[in-house]
Amino acid sequence: DGGITQSPKYLFRKEGQNVTLSCEQNLNHDAMYWYRQDPGQGLRLIYYSQIVNDFQKGDIAEGYSVSREKKESFPLTVTSAQKNPTAFYLCASIQGNNGYTFGSGTRLTVV
């Protein structure tokens, strides 16, 4: 079945560590997105990529980095520069002007 796989489901980060969240899709979608969701809040756009080897900053890109070397993969790195990384991270993809397909999310906690 086609879909988006995010891993891991839960991730714990120590202060000063970089961590990478994985997002893989087998839908052959061109565009992929990373969102952050805080408790009781909506989704805020971190980064997006509309084509391989190209990506753009969203509304809250500071402290995050991404790469898009392959169409099916869009990993997100939460760097030590992100001072408040504890949140729920959602990856999504889309083809054309249709609805998003979302992954099941990664919950990141700073310990």
Partner 1 sequence: SQQGEEDPQALSIQEGENATMNCSYKTSINNLQWYRQNSGRGLVHLILIRSNEREKHSGRLRVTLDTSKKSSSLLITASRAADTASYFCATGPGGGSYIPTFGRGTSLIVHP
Contact positions vs partner 1 (CB under 8 A): 4, 6, 31, 35, 40-43, 45, 48, 50, 58-59, 88, 90, 92, 94, 97-105, 107
State which residue, 17 or 91, has the beta carbon closest to partner 1: 91
Give percent helix, percent strand, percent coil of the chain, each to the nearest 5: 0, 50, 50
State which residue, 16 or 96, has the beta carbon closest to partner 1: 96
> CB of residue 80 vs partner 1: minimum separation in angstroms?
26
Distance CA 29, CA 50 (A): 9
Distance CA 58, CA 22 (A): 18
